[in-house]
Structure 1
Amino acid sequence: MFNIKVAFIPLPAYIALCLLVAGIIAVGKVGTDLMTMIAIIGLGGATCAEVGKRIPYLNKIGGAAIISAFLPSYLVSLGWIPDAVTTSVTTFTKSSNFIYLFVSSVVVGSIFTMDQDMIIKGFAKIFLPLMAGSILAFVTGGLVGMAAGLDLKQVLFFVSVPVMGGGLGEGAIPISVGYGEIMGVDSGKILAQLLPIILLANLFAIVLCGVTSAIGRRYPHLTGNGRLQVGESGPELQSAPVEQPTQSLDVEWVIAAGMCAVTLYLSGVLLHALFGLPGPVCMLFLAVLLKLFNGVPRRLEEGSRTLFKFFMACVTYPLLFANSIAVTHWNELISAFHVANLLAIFTTVLTLIVVGFVMARRLGLHPVEAGIVNGCHSGLGGTGDVAILTAAGRMELLPFAQIATRIGGAITVMAALLIFAHVGP
C-alpha cells in the first residue's frame, strides 16, 4: 500500500493524517506549531494536487497547480474549511513567510547546477523579449480595453500596470500608495480595486503558460525541456532523469546547500535594508557570482540538486495551498469578472507570452521557455512564479522568472508612477 501515493504522501500515511487532522479539529486543538501546520498544509496540498492531476484536459495545462492555488480559496468562501484551520494556516503562512525558504532553495538549486558559460548570456538575452513584450502588452491591452468600453487611462494604469507590476508587495501596494498620493484619495480603496486584477492575471498566466508547455510537448523542437538557451549544456533538474553520481551523496552537502540558500537570503535582506535594493534580486545575483567565480564545488552542486528535487516534490503544492487560504480572497477575485477587464487582462498576459515565444529563435533561446519566462512578468510575485512554473513543469526557470517579475515589475511601477503624476488622474 505504500507504493500507492496521493501526490507525495503514501496512502496509509494519508489516511492516518486525514483521521488525525479531523480529530484535532474536532477537539479544537488546531495550533500554529510547525508539526500541525506541516500535517494540515501537506494534506491539503497533496489532495489538491491529486485532484488537479486527475481532471481531464486541465491536467495537461498544469491542473495540479491551478487547483492548489485557487480551490482552497473557493472552499473558504463557501465556509467548507473550518475557521480554526483558516485562521491557523493564515497566521502561520504570514508569520513564517516560508515561501522565501522555498524560493531561496530553488534559486540555489537552479543557479548552482547551471552551465557557467550560459548564465550571463541567458540573463542578458531575456531582457530584450521582456522589454519588447512589456511595451506591446501595454499597447494591445490598452486597445482591447478601449474596444471593450474602458477608458484608455483606466485600462493602462489600473489594469496593465498592476498586471505587470510584480505582484502584491512589490507591485500593487506601492502602486496604490503612489496613485493615492497623486489623486488625493485613500490608497486602501485603490488597493482593493487592484487586487482582483493581479489575481486574475496570475490565473491567466498559469493557464496560458500551461498551454505553452503543452505546445512544447506537441512540438518538441520548440522546447529545451527547462533549458532556456539553445545548445545549453549542464545537468537538467526536472525534465529528464539525472545521472546519479558515481559516489553516494553525503547528506551533509544537502544541508550545506540549504544553509547556502539561507545565507544568500539573509544577504539579500541586509542589502535591501542598507540600499533599498530588492532582496530576492540581490540573492539571485549573489548566487550567480558564486557560480561564475567557481565558488561552488562539485559536491555542493550535487547537494543543491537534491535540495531542489526535495522542495519541488514536497513543498510546492502545500505552499500553493497555504497561500490560497492566506492570500487569495475569492470574493476579490470574482469582483473583477466582467468582460472588459477579462479581455484586457487576458490580452496583456497573452501578448507577453507570444512576444517571448516569437523573439526567442533570433536570440538563441527556446521559444517555449522564453514565452514562459515572459509570462512570469504577469505573475503574483514569488508565489505567482512558483504557480506558473509548476503548471508549466519548468521550475528550473525560476531565476529568470524572478528577473522578469522583480526587475520587470520595478521598472513598470516606477515608469507608471512618473507618467501618472505627469498626466494626472
Structure 2
Amino acid sequence: MQMNSVPDEDQKKNIIQRFMGLNIGIVPMPLYLLLLVTYVLLTVTKQMPNDMIGAIGIMTLFSFMLEEIGKHIPILNSLGGKVLVVTFLPSYLVYMNWLPSSTTKVVTDFMNNNNFLAVFIALLIVGSISAMNRKTLIKASTRIIVVLLICEVVGPVIGMGVGSLLGLSAYKSYFFIVAPIMAGGVGEGALPLSLGYAAIISMGQQNIFAQILPCVMLGSLVAVVEAGILRQIGVKKPHLTGNGRLVEGDNDDELGSLSSKSDTANISKMLVSGILAITLYLLGVWANSVIHLPAPIVLLIVVMVAKMLGWIPDSVQEGGKSLYSLTVKGISPLLLFGVGVAMTPWKSLVTVFTNIPMLITIFITVTAIVVAAFFSAKFLGMYPVDTAIAVSCCSGQGGTGALAILAAGDRMNLMPFAQVAVRLGGAITVTLSIFLMRIFA
C-alpha cells in the first residue's frame, strides 16, 4: 500500500505544480489567487477602497478571468469572444445586481471621474503612430478617408432601404437608427444628435436620446462581432490582411533595427513617450477651448504630422513601441471591463432585441459599412481586412466601441485610424443629420 501511495502523492504534487504554473491572462496563478483572496476579504468586510488602486485591483481580477473564459468558449472565441465576455457580461451582471454593489460603485466612480479611456487612447495613439512606418502612415491616412466617405454614403442608403422594406419609414430609419449608429458614440454622437433633433421637432431631448441610445449600443455590438469574423478571414486568407498594416506593399519596418537590438523594454524611453502622450493630450484640452476640436483629435493630428515630417526621434519611436505593448497587454483588458460596468447599459441592448425590424436594420447597416470598406480598400491598394476593421469603428460606441472593435479584431495598433473613422465620420453624420432634419421635419 505504501509503495502505491508514493506515485499518487507525486501525481497530486505534479497537478498542484501545474496548476500553480498557470497564468490568468498575464497574471501568474499564485499572485492571482492572492488578489482574489484579498478582494473577497475587502468586499465581505466592506473595506474596499473607493480609489484608483481599488478600481484597478478589481478590474485586474475580473478582466483577466473573463478574458480566459471568452478564449475558451467554442465558436465565440473566434468571433472576438474574449472582448464580448469582458465587455458585455459585466453589463449583464450589473443589470442583474449580481456584482457586489461596492465593486460596481468603485469601478463606475473610477471610470466616470478619472477619464481613464482618454489616457488609454492618448498612450495608444502616440505608441502606435510613433512606431509606424512613415511612408505607410502618409499613404494610409489619405486613402482611409476616401474609404470612410464611401461608407458614409453606402451605410445610410442601405440602412434606409432595408428599413423601408421592413415597414419602417425612410425618415425613421435614417434619423433614429442609421444616423445614431454612425454618429461617433454617445457623448460626441447620440447626445448632440438628440439635442439637435429636439431643437427642431416637438419631442423632448431625453425621449429622443432614449430612442437612439439602443441603436448606438447594438451597432457597436454588431461591429465587435464582425471584427472577430474579419480577423478569422485574415487568418484563413492571409493575402487579404496586413496584420495591422493598411497599405499593401509596405513591408519594411523602419524600427526593425531598433527593436532587434534588445528584447527588453527601455523604461526611460517608454516613460518619455508616455509623457509626450500626456503633454499632447493636455495641449489638446487647451486647443479644444479655443477651436472646439476634441482633445484626442488634436493629439492625433499633432503626432501624425510630426511623424510624417520625420520629427519624432528614434529613441521616442522605440519607446513608443514599448508603450504600445504595455497599453495593449496591460491596460486594454481592464478598460474593457470598466466600460462594461460603467458605460454599457444592458437595458438599452435588450430594448432593441424586442424590435425585429430595428434589429435587422441595425445589423444590415453595420454590415453594409464593413462590406463597403472591405471591397473599396482593395481598389485603393489597401488590405481589406484591416481597413474594414478600422473603418467599422465609425459604427461603434465612440472611443469605447473602437476599443472593443479593435480588440476583437486583434488590430489595436489601428487605433489612430479608428479615431479618424469615429471622429471624422461622426462629425459628418451629426452635421448632415441635423441639417437634413431641418429640411424634412
| TM superposition score normalised by structure 1 | 0.96
Residue 243 of structure 1 deviates from its aligned partner by 4.5
Query: For the Cα contact (< 8 Å) 2:54–2:106, is it kept in 1?
Result: no
User: Do residues 415 (structure 1) and 426 (structure 2) align?
Assistant: no
Residue 88 of structure 1 deviates from its aligned partner by 1.5
**What does residue range 203-242 of structure 1 map to in structure 2 within 5 Å?**
203-235=221-253
Whichever residue aligns with residue 377 of structure 2, its letter is A
Residue 115 of structure 1 deviates from its aligned partner by 1.2
Query: For the Cα contact (< 8 Å) 1:62–1:210, is it kept in 2?
Result: yes
Work out the CA distance in 2 between the residues paired with 1:214 and 1:29: 44
Question: Which of residues 84, 90, 98 in structure 2 aligns to 1:80?
Answer: 98
Question: Which of residues 370, 374, 381 in structure 1 aligns to 2:391?
Answer: 374
Matched residue, 1:245: 261
User: Do residues 329 (structure 1) and 336 (structure 2) align?
Assistant: no
Question: Cα–Cα, structure 1 residues 305 and 3, in superposed 2: closer, same or farther, change >3 Å?
Answer: farther
Query: For the Cα contact (< 8 Å) 1:212–1:372, is it kept in 2?
Result: yes
Matched residue, 2:133: 115
Question: Cα–Cα, structure 1 residues 121 and 346, in superposed 2: closer, same or farther, change >3 Å?
Answer: same
Residue 184 of structure 1 deviates from its aligned partner by 3.1
**What does residue range 18-417 of structure 1 map to in structure 2 within 5 Å?**
18-235=36-253, 243-246=259-262, 249-337=265-353, 338-417=355-434
Whichever residue aligns with residue 214 of structure 1, its letter is Q
Work out the CA distance in 1 between the residues paired with 2:312 and 2:424: 26
Query: For the Cα contact (< 8 Å) 2:133–2:254, is it kept in 1?
Result: no
Query: For the Cα contact (< 8 Å) 1:349–1:375, is it kept in 2?
Result: yes
Work out the CA distance in 2 between the residues paired with 1:232 and 1:405: 25
Work out the CA distance in 1 between the residues paired with 2:274 and 2:149: 34
The DSSP-based 3-state class of the residue aligned with 2:225 is helix
Query: For the Cα contact (< 8 Å) 1:230–1:365, is it kept in 2?
Result: yes
Percent identity of paired positions between Structure 1 and Structure 2: 36
The DSSP-based 3-state class of the residue aligned with 2:261 is coil
Query: For the Cα contact (< 8 Å) 1:225–1:394, is it kept in 2?
Result: yes
Question: Which of residues 25, 30, 43 in structure 2 aligns to 1:12?
Answer: 30
Work out the CA distance in 1 between the residues paired with 2:76 and 2:420: 28
Query: For the Cα contact (< 8 Å) 2:104–2:341, is it kept in 1?
Result: yes
Work out the CA distance in 1 between the residues paired with 2:288 and 2:183: 19
Whichever residue aligns with residue 411 of structure 1, its letter is I
Work out the CA distance in 2 between the residues paired with 1:163 and 1:97: 23
The DSSP-based 3-state class of the residue aligned with 2:199 is helix
Residues 392-421 of structure 1 show CA distances to partners (whole Å, capped at 9, x for unaligned) of 000111111100000110011000000001
Query: For the Cα contact (< 8 Å) 1:25–1:84, is it kept in 2?
Result: yes
Residue 236 of structure 1 deviates from its aligned partner by 9.7
Whichever residue aligns with residue 385 of structure 1, its letter is A
Query: For the Cα contact (< 8 Å) 2:177–2:215, is it kept in 1?
Result: yes
Work out the CA distance in 2 between the residues paired with 1:108 and 1:183: 42
Query: For the Cα contact (< 8 Å) 1:182–1:421, is it kept in 2?
Result: yes
Work out the CA distance in 1 between the residues paired with 2:326 and 2:76: 25
Residue 270 of structure 1 deviates from its aligned partner by 1.1
Query: For the Cα contact (< 8 Å) 2:259–2:318, is it kept in 1?
Result: no
The gaps in structure 2 that reach 5 residues or longer are 1-16
Query: For the Cα contact (< 8 Å) 1:114–1:234, is it kept in 2?
Result: no
Work out the CA distance in 2 between the residues paired with 1:147 and 1:157: 16
**Equivalences, count:** 421
Work out the CA distance in 2 between the residues paired with 1:3 and 1:148: 55
Name the larger-Rg structure: 2
Work out the CA distance in 1 between the residues paired with 2:372 and 2:147: 6
Work out the CA distance in 1 between the residues paired with 2:264 and 2:127: 18
The DSSP-based 3-state class of the residue aligned with 1:92 is helix
The DSSP-based 3-state class of the residue aligned with 1:315 is helix
The DSSP-based 3-state class of the residue aligned with 1:32 is coil
